[in-house]
Amino acid sequence: MSRKTENAKSRQSKTHISPVNGFRSRSARIVRRLNPVLALALAPGFAFAATVPVHATIDNTATASGTYGEQMVQTDAATLNLDVEPAKASLSVSSVGVLDVTGGGESDAADGGDTVSLSVTVTNSGNVTVRNVHPADAAFLANGETGTGSLAAFEPASAVIEPGGSQLFTALYTLSADDVYRAAGTEGGITASIGASGAVAAGAVNAEAVAAKVDVDANPRLEIRKDAAIAKGDGNTGEDLEAGDLVTYTYTVTNTGNVAINGITITDEHEGTALASSEVTNSSEGPFDETKSVDDPLGVSADESVNGTWDVLGAGGAVTFTFKHVVTQAEFEAQ
């Protein structure tokens, strides 16, 4: 064999070990033969499930090939094993509640039938897609007591949220009268706690519930109704009042607001003279008698003694005062 032929064979058998450009593997290598035509083939072809086990890798295998005349030149495979971060399925929730006072009987103040508009934003704070995401574990408190209103279905019912994405869910909570009576006048009187739930390949994903607080403004309000019953005095026969007739006045006071009212009294003007229920002491014409006529829903109405003053009248309750008066001759002649 000539020296020229040996040199040619020697050039064909030389190899050069170099890292693959763009890869960080510690062991990657490409065997490149001297050739005017060079092709690089990269075939990743990988896939992984939503939940990736710890120490999982993405494997990439590359080869290089070319021709020398009629001869095909092929390298050995160079493989990269890239570590994959463990899958993290995580959801977070934020929520806001807004009170609408136009749904109940009063259009300018909170009462039963009004609604709280809930906006719940669920965010995928993990690194895998979470499916069937929906608000969950909704709970409502009215000044610390379990709410007795009703929650409508959330819209949309569920969603698929990709990593970094968010979905807004909305619903209405209708307040009961008891909810309003408990919460009115208390800062953050209505508390709506709502979490979220979803699913990945490994199972359920739950987000801790967060609270949205809603103020319910106090609406102190009373209404009064006055009635009279006449008992004819001795010898009186007229259809209308005469001196000596007994008039029994009744005053029904109803708490039509949404908070309890303290110290209920009656002031009634008779022929220019003001009679205060808490001050009438004449046994023949007082004192004003007071009795509870309608229970309030929360049962807070209370009165310690019959003294012309009702101590506490709960929202939705009513009390009736009674006062008896004999028509005097002066009153009769003054007409």
pLDDT of amino acid 93: 97
Kindly state the average pLDDT of the residues 114-120: 98
* Residue 91, helix vs strand vs coil: strand
Residues 72 and 112 in one domain: no
The rounded percent of the chain whose pLDDT value lies above 70 is: 81
- Please, which pLDDT band fits residue 148 given cuts at 50, 70 and 90? very high
Residues 161 and 259 in one domain: no
pLDDT of amino acid 334: 75
Q: Which of 190, 214, 238 is the last residue of a domain?
A: 214
> What domain range includes position 141?
91-214
Helices and strands of the chain, counted as H and E runs: 3, 23
Q: How far apart are CA 266 and CA 225, in angstroms?
A: 11
Residues 229 and 324 in one domain: yes
Q: Which DSSP string do the residues of 146-163 spell out, in sequence order?
A: EP-SEEPPPBSS-EEE-T
CATH for 145: 2.60.40
Closest by CA to 254, choosing from 318, 181, 177, 320, is 318
Residues 204 and 98 in one domain: yes
Residues 254 and 313 in one domain: yes
Residues 185 and 210 in one domain: yes
pLDDT of amino acid 208: 95
Residue 20 has pLDDT above 70, yes or no: no
* Residue 177, helix vs strand vs coil: helix
pLDDT of amino acid 110: 96
Kindly state the average pLDDT of the residues 86-104: 95
Residue 287 has pLDDT above 70, yes or no: no
Residues 107 and 162 in one domain: yes
Q: Which DSSP string do the residues of 187-219 spell out, in sequence order?
A: TT-EEEEEEEEEEETTEEEEEEEEEEEE-----
Looking at the DSSP assignment, which residues form a beta bridge with residue 196?
135, 207
Q: Which of 53, 83, 113 is the last residue of a domain?
A: 83
Q: How many residues does the structure list for the chain?
A: 335
Q: For the chain, how many structural domains are there in total?
A: 3
Residue 167 has pLDDT above 90, yes or no: yes
Residues 67 and 117 in one domain: no
Asked whether 65 and 73 are in contact (CB, 8 A), the reply is yes
Residue 288 has pLDDT above 70, yes or no: yes
Residues 328 and 233 in one domain: yes
- Please, which pLDDT band fits residue 325 given cuts at 50, 70 and 90? confident
pLDDT of amino acid 31: 35
Residues 205 and 241 in one domain: no
pLDDT of amino acid 281: 55
Number of Cα atoms under 13 Å in the Cβ half of residue 321: 29
Kindly state the average pLDDT of the residues 308-330: 91
pLDDT of amino acid 33: 36
Residues 166 and 115 in one domain: yes
- Please, which pLDDT band fits residue 49 given cuts at 50, 70 and 90? very low
Q: Which of 157, 182, 214 is the last residue of a domain?
A: 214
| 208-219 per-residue burial string, b: 16 or more CB within 10 A, e: under 16 | ebeebebbbebb
- Please, which pLDDT band fits residue 42 given cuts at 50, 70 and 90? very low
HEC readout, 263-298: EECCEEEECCEEEECCCCCCCCCCCCEEEEEECCCC
For residues 120 and 282, the model is more confident at 120
Residues 74 and 106 in one domain: no
